[in-house]
Amino acid sequence: MLTNNQIIMMRKILLFLFCIALAWSAKAQQRNVTGKVTDAADGSGLPGVSVLVKGTSNGTVSDSDGNYSIDAPAQAVITFSFIGFRTQEIALGERAIIDVSMTADITQLSEVVVIGYGEREKKDLTGSISTLNAKELNNEIRMTPELAMQGKMAGVFVSNPGSDPNARPIIRIRGVSTLGFNDPLYVIDGVPITEGGAGSAVGRDQDLRGPVNIMNMINPNDIESISVLKDASATAIYGVRASNGVILIQTKRGKEGKARINFSSNYGIQNIKKRYDVLNTQEYVNLYNEAWNNNTVAGRALSDWGTLYDPNSPEYLGNSPTYNWMDNATVKNASIQDYNLSVSGGTQKSTYALGGGYASQQNAVFKSQFSRYSFFINSDHQVTNWLKLGESFRLIYSQTEADGGPGIANASLINPWQPLFDPSQPNGYALPRGTVKGVSNSRGFGNSTRDNFLAIDPLVYDQRGMLRNLGSAYAEVTPLKGLRVRGTLSVDYYTNTKESFSLPEAGLYNAQAGTLNANGSSYGRRQSENFNIVKEFLIGYNKSFGDHKIDIVLNAMDQKYNWNNIDQSVNNTGILSFDQRRMVEGILPADKNLFVERNRSGLLGYMARVSYNYNSKYYLDATIRRDGSSKFAPGYKWGTFPAVGAAWRVSGENFMSGTTNWLDDLKIRLGWGKSGNQETRDFAYLSLLNNNPKYAVGSNGGTPGTIVNGAILGDFPVVDMSWETVTTQNIGFDALFLNSKLSFTMEYYHRFTEGILQGIEIPRVIGALNNPVVNLASVVNNGIEMQIGFNEKIGELGIHANANFTTVKNRVTKLYRNQPQGGRIEVGYPINYIFGYQMGGIFQNQAEIDQWRLTNSSPGTETQLSPGDIFFNDLNGPALPEDGPDAYLNRNPDGVTNGFDQTYLGKTIPGFFWGMGVNLDYKGFDFGLTFRGLGDVQRVNGVRWSGESMGNGGVNALSSVSGRWTSENPSNTMPRAISGDPSQNARFSNRWVEDASFFRLQNAQLGYNLNTNSKVLQKMGATNLRVFTSLSNVFVISPYTGLDPEDDSTPITLMFGLNLGF
C-alpha cells in the first residue's frame, strides 16, 4: 500500500524524469563532432567519459573504445569529464574531430584503495572505508602511524597517549561496540596480527603480554597506505575478527624504473610545561593541622605521623623548604629521533623495495625510552606470463627501558617537605627514612612518603627487547585471463624479552622497605614468545561483458597461534652490575624460580565475495564468510557472517547531465552486514584446573612442614557462549563538486552488537575465582559521519582543507539476566558510564544537620557529621514487593544513603569528535595546521580527587583547597578539611566528574620543498629535498581542570625534519 505522500513523491520523480527526457531530445541546429578519448598514462581508449556541450544538457558518453560522437553548435565549448580524471574543456572552433588525452586526478576517485583480499578504485567502493596515503602520512612527522591518523578520518577516534612511547593508543572505530577487547584488527601486508592474551581481561595475562604497541613496529615512512574498514559490508571479509573495524596497512613496494633512494631524518624535543598548583610546606602543614583539629576523635596525637606536623615537636618538618618534584619527575627536552633510508626500483618483470631505519624516543615523564631498528624487504616477480611470485618481510628490534618514577600525579601531590637530594649522602640522594615518634621509620616524611626515584634509577633495571619477524610469501598463477589462483603463507613470530635486575641498595630508597633488599641482587628474565602462522588460498576471477563487470574472490584461511611464556628469576646472585647479569647453575634452589606456560588458539575461515558493476553506475558486493574458532565449545565454534553493499552512481545517469557543470560525481552507498568478535580469555567455556594453591603439612616441633600442591577449580564456566556479532547498517553518499575541488561524504551508521563477550560479576557465594565469560549484553552505536575536502589553486597558492565530524550515541539495550555490572553497564545507558553518589550540598549549620537527621541516615558515615560536611542525595532504596520480582532497587528515597543511591554521573564515550586540517602551499613552501576535538563526554579528575580530599594519606593538596568550607568562609561546593574523612565527603561522587570536551591545535607544520630544477639539487644529483619543522599539541582549550583533558603527560613536541630523494 502506498501512502498519499509516497504517491505524490512518485509523481514528482516522474515529472522530473520527463523534463530531463524533453531536454535530451531538444537539439538545436548543430554539426557532428567525433573523436577518441584516451588515457594519458597508456594511450588506451577510455570508455564512459562524459562528453557535454557546456552550458547545455546536450551530452553523451564515450563507447568501450573511447570513441564518441556528439552534435554541437559552432562556438561551443565541450567538456570531457570522467571519474578520477581531470575534467577538460575544449573550444570546438572549426574542428570536426577532437581527440582528448585525459590525465588521472590522483588525489581523487581513481586512487586505489586496499579493501582486503584485493584493491579497488575509490570511485568503485560500496563500503565505508577511510584512507590515508603515503603523502598524507608523511606530511606529519610522528613515530607511529596511529598518530598520523589522529583527527584525519571520520569515524576513527585516536586518543592522545601522552608522552610514553610504549603506551598503546586507544583506537575506536564508530564508538565502543563491546566491553572487553575494543581494538580493531590490524592487517599488515595481508597478515592479520594476533597477540597472546589480547582479549583476556585477566591482569596476569596482560602483564605477561607486556606493553606491545602494534603500531610501534611500523615505521610510518614505510607505509604506502592505511585503509580503515568501518562498516560490515567492508569488514565482513574478515569475519569473526572484524567487529571492531579493520585497519589495513600496506607498505611500500617497488615500481618499475631506475632505483629510487629516499632518505629521511627527523629530530625533535618534547616537554611537559604545565604544572598543578599545589600548597607549599607551610600551607600544607596548616591544612593538615586544621584537618586534625576538626576531627573530634582522631586528632594529631593519635596519628602515627602527628609529630611531624607538631610545631612543638623536635621532629616538626614544617620549617622545611618546599621541594619541587615535578621538575625532576619530567624530562626536559626529551628527544625524539627517526632516520630512514630506503631503495626501490625494478624492471618490467621484477620490482623490489628495501629499507632500514632507526628511531628512538624518550618519555617526557621520568623515565622510559624506546628505540627501534627496523628493516624491510619486498619484491614481486613475474616469472612467466602466468606465474607471479613475491614476498615481503619485516624485521623489527625494539628496546624499551622503564626505570619507574612517580608519574605526574604523584610528583604533583608529593608531600612538599620530602627532599630528593641530600649532599651529606655519598651518592647525593636523600633517603626517605626519618625519625618518627622517636623511632627510625622508613617513611620518615609521613604516610605518603615516596620512593626516591632518582636514587633508585641507577640501581634498578627494567628492559624489554622485542624481536619481531613479520613475513609473507605468495605465488599467483594466472591460467586464464581474469582468473588468478593465489596461495599465501604468512608468519608473525616475535619474542618479547623482559629483563629486570635490582641491586639490594634500591631497598634503602624504597619508602616501604627502607632497608637493603632481603633478596640481594636479583635478576629475572621473562620471555613471551608469539608464533602466528596463516595459510591462505585464494581464487579470484574478474571479467567484463560489455558494460557488465564481475569480480569473484574465494578464500580459505587457516590460522594457528601459539603463545608461550618463559619466566626465570633468581635472588641473591651477588652480581653487582646489570652488565654482568646471568644465572649461574650454582644458585641455591631456594633462590631460583621459574615457570613455562603455553597457550594456543586457532581459527578457520572460508570467504566468498562477488562484486558486480554495471557501467560504473550500479554496484553490488555480496560477501559471506564462515569462521570457526577454538575459543568456543564444540557446537558453538562456527559462525557465519554475511554482508551486502550496493552503490548507485547517480551522476552517471543521463538525467543528471544538467548538473555536470557543478557536480562531478555523486554516489549513494548502502550497506548491511554482520561481523564477529571472538576475543576473550582462551577456553573460557571450560572449567580449568588451577594448580597455584599450596599448603604445608607435617610441621612438627620446629621442623618446618612440607609444601604440598593444591588443585582447585576456580572457574564458573558458561558453556553456551559463542560469537559476539555486530550488525552494521550504513547509508551514505559521496559527492564531488566544482571540478572536483570540493568533496563531501556523509554517512549514517547503525551498529548493533549482540552477545557481547564479557566476564560478568557473579555472586561471591559461588566461590569462584574467575568471573565467567558470557554473551552478556547488546549495545547499539549509531551516528553520522561527515568528511569534507577542498582543494583550490589560486595562482601559486594551493589550498587544501579537510574536516571530519562523527557523532556516537551508545546505548546498552539488553543485559544477561538484566543484571547491571560494575564499571558500569546498565540497560538504557552508555557502556562504562560514570556511576557514583550525587552531592546534595553542604551542611552550613547544625540546624540543617538536625533537620536532615529527622528523615535521613547514612550508616557508617555519621559519627562526626558537622557543618561543612557534604550530604549526598538519597535517590533509591532496596526493592520493595511492589517493584516486582526482578527489581534490584526502588526508585524512591528510603531515608538511607547507601550503595543503592549511586547513579548516573556522566559518560566516558564522547558524543562527538572532529578533526580539521588546513594546508597551504606557495611556491616551495607549505604550511599546515591540524585541529581536533571532542565533546559531550565526562571524565573523572583523579588528581583533583586526591588533591582536594584534604585528609587522606597526607598527600599534598591543590591550591584550590583555599576555597574549602570554614565557619568564617562557608562554601557551598567544597567541604571542610577533616582527617580520616569520617563523613566520607571524598567518596566517589559527581564532585570529581568533569566535562572533558576539548579543542586542540594538534599540529602545526612548516615545510620547504626545493624545486626540482634547483641547482643545489642537481649538484647533489638529488631529485627532491624537503625540510620542515612542526609543533605538536600547541594548545588545548577545555573546561577540564587537569593538565590535559586526554592525558596529563601530553607533551609539546618540536620537530625538525629532512627528506632527500635520489
Partner 1 sequence: MSLSSCNEATIDLDPIGNTEASFFQNEAQMTEAVFGTYAKLSYFYKRGGSGGDNLQSIWLLPSDDLTTPGETSTEIFSTLQGTDGKLSRYFNFSYQIISRANIVMEKIIQNGSFAYDAASNADDHHRGEALFLRSLMYFNLWNIYGTAPLVTKRITSLDDAFPGNSTGTQLLDQAIIDLTEAVTLLPAAWNVQNLGRANKNSARGLLSKCLVFRGTVNNTNADFTAAITTVNAMTGMALAPNFNDNFDGLKENNVESLFEFQANRSIANTNPWVGGNDDFAVIGELNGFWGFFNNQGTDGGNNTFRATSSIKNAFEVGDPRIDFSFNMAVDAANGHNVRKYVLNNVTTPDNPWLGLSQNNPRILRYADVLLLKAEAIVRSGGNLSEAIGLVNDIRTRARASKVGATVPANLAIPGTSAQALNLIFNERRLELAFEEGHRWYDLRRRHLAGEINLTTLNFGALRADFNFREFNIYFPLPEAEVLQSLNLNQNAGY
Identified binder of partner 1 from the candidate list 7, 9, 96, 202, rule CB under 8 A: 202
Contact track, partner 1, 532-561, x by CB under 8 A: ---x-x------------------xxxxx-
When computed from its CA atoms, the radius of gyration of the chain, rounded to whole angstroms, is 33
Q: Record the cell numbers describing residue 539, joined without a space.
A: 581464487
- Please give the size of the binding site for partner 1, defined by CB under 8 A: 115
Q: Shortest Cβ distance from residue 116 to partner 1 (Å)?
A: 19
Q: Shortest Cβ distance from residue 532 to partner 1 (Å)?
A: 12
Of 69 and 691, nearer to partner 1 (C-beta) is 691
Integer angstrom CA distances of residue 243 from 230, 235, 238, 754, 777? 9, 8, 9, 11, 15
Q: Shortest Cβ distance from residue 290 to partner 1 (Å)?
A: 19
Distance CA 250, CA 170 (A): 21
Distance CA 658, CA 652 (A): 11
Contact track, partner 1, 610-639, x by CB under 8 A: ------------------xxx---x--x--
Contact track, partner 1, 683-702, x by CB under 8 A: x--xxxxxxxxxxxxxxxxx
User: Per CB under 8 A, does 178 bind partner 1?
Assistant: no
Of 900 and 965, nearer to partner 1 (C-beta) is 900
Identified binder of partner 1 from the candidate list 9, 22, 766, 1020, rule CB under 8 A: 766
Identified binder of partner 1 from the candidate list 351, 770, 956, 1003, rule CB under 8 A: 770
Integer angstrom CA distances of residue 696 from 693, 705, 713, 714, 1047? 10, 5, 20, 20, 47
**Which segment (185-193, 309-317, 679-687, 806-814) binds partner 1 by CB under 8 A?**
679-687
- Count CA atoms within 13 Å of residue 930 on its CB side: 22
Integer angstrom CA distances of residue 544 from 68, 292, 386, 481, 615? 20, 85, 20, 11, 10
360: left (phi over 0), alpha (psi -120 to 50) or beta: beta
Contact track, partner 1, 716-755, x by CB under 8 A: x---------------------------------------
> For the residues of 302-342, what is the DSSP string, one character each?
GSTTGGGG-TTSTT--TTSPPP--HHHHB-TTEEEEEEEEE
Site for partner 1, residues 480 to 499, rule: CB under 8 A:
487, 489
824 prior amide bond cis, ω within 30: yes
Site for partner 1, residues 574 to 593, rule: CB under 8 A:
590-593
Distance CA 234, CA 757 (A): 23
Q: Shortest Cβ distance from residue 204 to partner 1 (Å)?
A: 6
Q: Shortest Cβ distance from residue 699 to partner 1 (Å)?
A: 5
Of 570 and 974, nearer to partner 1 (C-beta) is 570
Of 204 and 548, nearer to partner 1 (C-beta) is 204
Nearest in space to 176 (alpha carbons), one of 755, 678, 811: 811
Site for partner 1, residues 981 to 1000, rule: CB under 8 A:
982
Identified binder of partner 1 from the candidate list 55, 93, 841, 899, rule CB under 8 A: 899
Of 668 and 688, nearer to partner 1 (C-beta) is 688
Contact track, partner 1, 827-866, x by CB under 8 A: --------------------------------xxxxxx--
Amino acid identity at 473: A
**Which segment (52-60, 111-119, 730-738, 814-822) binds partner 1 by CB under 8 A?**
814-822
User: Per CB under 8 A, does 879 bind partner 1?
Assistant: yes
Identified binder of partner 1 from the candidate list 103, 206, 427, 515, rule CB under 8 A: 515
Identified binder of partner 1 from the candidate list 9, 21, 40, 302, rule CB under 8 A: 302
Residue pointed to by grid coordinates 604440598? 708
Of 694 and 1015, nearer to partner 1 (C-beta) is 694
Identified binder of partner 1 from the candidate list 764, 881, 969, 1015, rule CB under 8 A: 764
Distance CA 671, CA 621 (A): 9
Identified binder of partner 1 from the candidate list 116, 514, 868, 928, rule CB under 8 A: 514
Distance CA 747, CA 722 (A): 31
Of 627 and 747, nearer to partner 1 (C-beta) is 627
**Which segment (227-235, 682-690, 836-844, 915-923) binds partner 1 by CB under 8 A?**
682-690
Integer angstrom CA distances of residue 913 from 152, 154, 584, 808, 937? 11, 9, 56, 8, 10
Contact track, partner 1, 431-470, x by CB under 8 A: -----xxxx-xxx---------------------------
Of 442 and 1002, nearer to partner 1 (C-beta) is 442
> For the residues of 695-759, what is the DSSP string, one character each?
EEE--BTTBPPEEEE--EE-----TT---EEEEEEEEEEEEEETTTTEEEEEEEEEEEEES-EEE
Dihedral of CA atoms 105, 109, 112, 116 in degrees, nearest 10, equals 170
User: Per CB under 8 A, does 892 bind partner 1?
Assistant: no
Identified binder of partner 1 from the candidate list 426, 763, 795, 828, rule CB under 8 A: 763
* 232 three-class SS: helix
Distance CA 663, CA 643 (A): 30
Identified binder of partner 1 from the candidate list 296, 577, 846, 973, rule CB under 8 A: 296
Identified binder of partner 1 from the candidate list 39, 121, 529, 597, rule CB under 8 A: 597
Q: Shortest Cβ distance from residue 535 to partner 1 (Å)?
A: 5
> For the residues of 930-977, what is the DSSP string, one character each?
EEEEEES-EEE-HHHHHHT--SSTT---BGGGGGS--SSS--SSS---
Distance CA 877, CA 900 (A): 6
Q: Shortest Cβ distance from residue 383 to partner 1 (Å)?
A: 17
Q: Shortest Cβ distance from residue 689 to partner 1 (Å)?
A: 4
- 361's CB contacts (< 8 A; 6+ apart) are 143, 165, 334, 335, 336, 337, 369, 370, 371
Identified binder of partner 1 from the candidate list 318, 878, 924, 1061, rule CB under 8 A: 878
- Count CA atoms within 13 Å of residue 200 on its CB side: 22
Distance CA 623, CA 236 (A): 7
Residue 959: what are its φ and ψ, rounded to 5°?
-60, -20
